[in-house]
A and B are shown apart, each in its own frame.
Chain A
Amino acid sequence: MIELQDVTHGYGASPLLARISLSLAPGSFHFLTGPSGAGKTTLIKLCYGELIAGQGRVSLFGQDAAAMSRDDIALARRRIGVVHQDCQFIDHLTIAENVALPVVVSGRPARQIGKDLDDLLGWVGLSAHRSALPPELSGGERQRAALARAVIMSPEVILADEPTGNIDWEMSLRLLALLVELNRMGRTVLIATHDLNLIRQAKKQVAARVLRIANRQLLAAGAEL
């Protein structure tokens, strides 16, 4: 599905990630942890083709990302839902329009997914905010809207980069519950977070593999988790 083999990547002379290998199998649930600046976001970006590995091979659905055209990478991204810490919305579009954006860019008119959109907004608890603009929502509401946008195309993989970084614990648990539910529906999930409590909470609900980036290497997490 998504596979990194011997990937070294960085900015400048010193690599941020060195000889990293990772395989996201269908239906798996992964946590990626490590201190700030360790390279979690970089690794996530490598996984959806935002960055191209300096060395090694990143495979997106069987294709070498380095050899893919921009259009091919765009098509691959329609199979990957991404949730960023800062959500990344288009601020002059309503929440409903932002959530429907992946459908619109895929060429399907958004009106064709009216019911799906309503169901999705209901699932993340944002039905009442469908006409609101992103800056009008709280951090937690924005994160749930970002999750709704990430899953509206029924992607095979969901990548979440610090999705609970800006929200309170209660809202974090609610977001985690949504991601666990998606995994039970067969989606592959990778969550980058430095919140160990969130990981412990998740492990009570799902068989999650926990990875840690330390000293540019990707390691299995220790006994503390």
Chain B
Amino acid sequence: MVGDVQADRVVPPTGFTARLTVLAAAAMAFLAVFALALSLATGRLAERWSEALTGSATIRITAPEDQMEAQVAAVLRLLETTPGIGTARLIGRNEQKALLTPWFGPDLPLDTLPLPALIEITERGRGYDPEGLRARLAGEAPGAVLDNHSRWRAPLVRAASRLRALGLFSMLLITATTALIITLAISAALAANAQVIRVLRLVGAQDAYIAGAFMRRYTARAFTGALAGTILGALAIRLLPAGAREGSDGFLTGLGFAGTDWLLLPLIPLLAALVAFLATRATSLATLKERS
């Protein structure tokens, strides 16, 4: 990659193809920042959902008011003797109210509603056998239902994982598109600089020398464009509303970079430069061979 500065000057410093390469690399890098942010954010989301829901479950007890207390007591006794249960805690009325307030507002007349009793349980060791627990609950507290969250946890985690895969696929598409655009730009540049190539050959330049001059120019241009696009993309991410960045629990609002994720950003211009280098090398050598 290191070449004589004077050797590189044989390729014109400006022109349509130069601008095309810089702009395309900048645009692709900008998009790559968002694809990377999406991929990282969905990865974190999938991990968070999985961690938050794994190892915990809820038992919901629906019973006539006069039987509720007895059924709750029966369930708590049963849980004390169930292997794999770490803790079992009855969620109080105030806590239930706090959970429902975001959905129904603060004026909810909770005392007049026939709310089920909720018992939060956590696993211990290798966990409990959900089917066995369900069978025991059915026998000793018919109004109790075990919800170990697996019904909705699995699709959510699956969706988040797919979104992450989509983000990575987008990165691949962006890389391929960058390579394609640079290939077109270098083809146009070689056609536009036919006179330069003719003169270089006249004075004894070998194909590797000519290709090298174009490679260094276009790699530098792609790196410069991608660096600008990456900086703009990172700024755009930083300027998202505060709740939309790291640490947010929301789905769309979790887009962004957290901690060491920022260290991945310098890889984007480096990757763009590598793609440009390889695309320019392949295209220029093939074109020079054709024109010999």
Contacts and interface: CB of A to CB of B under 8 A. Distances in A.
Interface of A: 50, 70-71, 74-78, 82, 84, 88-93, 97, 100-102, 104-106, 109-110, 149, 153
Contact of B7 (A74, A84, A105, A149): A105
Contacts of A101: 10, 199-200, 203
Nearest to A76: B204
Interface residues of B, number: 23
Nearest to A111: B6
Nearest to A94: B9
B202 A90 contact: no
Given A70-B207, A74-B205, A105-B205, 6 more contacts: A88-B195, A91-B195, A93-B9, A104-B6, A105-B204, A110-B6
B201 interface: yes
Chain B contact residues: helix, strand, loop or mixed: helix
A106 B204 contact: yes
B201 A88 contact: no
Interface in B175-216: 195-196, 198-209
> Which of B9, B195, B202, B203 has the most A CB atoms < 10 Å from its CB?
B203
Given A92-B13, A93-B10, A104-B4, A71 B206 contact: yes
Contacts of B198: 88
A82 B204 CA distance: 10
Contact of A109 (B6, B199, B292): B6
Contacts, number: 67
Most buried by A among B198, B199, B209, B289: B199
Nearest to B4: A109
B12 interface: yes
Nearest to B208: A71
B4 A77 contact: no
Nearest to A106: B204
A110 B4 CA distance: 9
Contacts of A70: 206-207, 289, 292
Contacts of A88: 195, 198-199, 202
A89 B199 contact: yes
B199 A97 contact: no
A53 B190 CA distance: 27
Contacts of A109: 4, 6
A106 B208 CA distance: 12
Contacts of B203: 77-78, 101-102, 105, 149
Contacts of B196: 90
Contacts of B6: 97, 100, 104, 109-110
Contacts of B204: 74-78, 102, 105-106, 153
Contacts of A71: 206-208
A89 B204 CA distance: 14
- Central interface residue in A88, A100, A101, A102, by most chain B CB within 10 Å: A101
Nearest to B12: A92
Nearest to B292: A70
Contacts of B207: 70-71, 74
Contact of A105 (B9, B12, B200): B200
Interface in B208-254: 208-209
B199 to A, nearest CB: 5
> 6 tightest CB-CB pairs across the interface, nearest first?
A78-B204, A105-B205, A77-B204, A102-B203, A74-B206, A71-B206
Nearest to B200: A105
Contacts of B10: 90, 93, 101, 104
Contacts of A104: 4, 6-7, 10
A96 to B, nearest CB: 11
Nearest to A93: B9
A49 B199 CA distance: 14
A192 to B, nearest CB: 16
A50 B13 CA distance: 28
A153 B209 CA distance: 17
Contacts of A106: 204
Nearest to B196: A90
B41 to A, nearest CB: 47
Interface in B1-56: 4, 6-7, 9-10, 12-13
Nearest to B14: A92
Given A104-B7, A105-B7, A110-B6, A77 B202 contact: yes
Contacts of A90: 10, 195-196, 199-200
